[in-house]
Amino acid sequence: MDNTSSVSTVGSRDSGYLFEFRNDGVYLTVYESTEPGIQFELSDMRQILKEFSVDDYNLELLARLVREANGITTKISDKFVVPQNYKEGGRHGNTDVQLTTEELHENREYGNVFVDVSKDKLEVTVRFDIRENQAIPTVDMIKEALAVKNIVFGIDEEAVKEAAASGRITKVAFGIPPEHGLDAQIIKKFDMSITGRPVADEYDRVDYKNLNIFLLAKKGQVLAERIPHTQGKPGTNVHGATIRQKPGKPKPVPAGKNTVIKDENFVVSEIDGQIVDNGNKISVDPHLEVKGDVGLATGNIDFVGGVTVNGSVQLGFQLKATGDIEIKGMISGGDVSGRNIIVKGGVQGMSRGTVRAENDFQATFAENADIEAGGNVIITDVAMHSTIRAGHTLIVEGKKGLINGGNLAAGEEIRATNIGNVSNVVTRLTVGVNPMLQKQYQTVLKEYNEAKKRLDQVTKMINTLGKLDISQLPPDKAERFNALIRSQFPLAGTVERNERLLKELDVELQKMKRGKIRVKDTMYPGARLSINSIMKNVQVEEKCCTQYVEDDFIKIGAY
Q: Where are the domains of the chain?
A: 6-108, 185-285, 287-434+514-558, 437-510
What is the band of 40 on the pLDDT scale with cuts at 50, 70, 90? confident
CA distance 191 to 213: 12
pLDDT of 208 over the 80 cut: no
pLDDT of 343 over the 90 cut: yes
Mean of all residue pLDDT scores within the chain: 85
pLDDT tens digit sequence for 346-392: 999 888 889 999 999 999 999 999 999 988 999 999 999 999 999 88
- 492-501 LR contacts (CB < 8 Å, sep 24+): 492/455, 494/447, 494/448, 494/451, 495/448, 495/451, 495/452, 495/455, 498/444, 498/445, 498/447, 498/448, 498/451, 499/448, 501/444
> 277: how many CB neighbours lie within 10 A of its CB?
16
pLDDT of 131 over the 90 cut: no
Which helix (H) or strand (E) segment is 428 a member of? Answer: strand 427-431
Task: Annotate 154-191 with DSSP letters as a single string.
Answer: SB-HHHHHHHHHH-S-EEEEE-B--EEPPPPEEEESS-
CB contact burial 162-193 (16+ within 10 A = b; e otherwise): bbbeebeebebbbbbebebbeebeeeeebeee
Could you tell me which residues come within 8 angstroms of residue 475 by beta carbon, excluding any fewer than 6 positions away? Answer: none
CA distance 184 to 186: 7
Residue pair 346/310 in contact (Cβ under 8 Å)? The answer is: no
At 350 the pLDDT is: 85
Least confident of 21-35, 196-210, 239-253: 196-210
CA distance 449 to 457: 12
| Closest among 347, 344, 365 to 355, alpha carbons compared | 347
| Closest among 114, 132, 139 to 41, alpha carbons compared | 114
At 97 the pLDDT is: 44
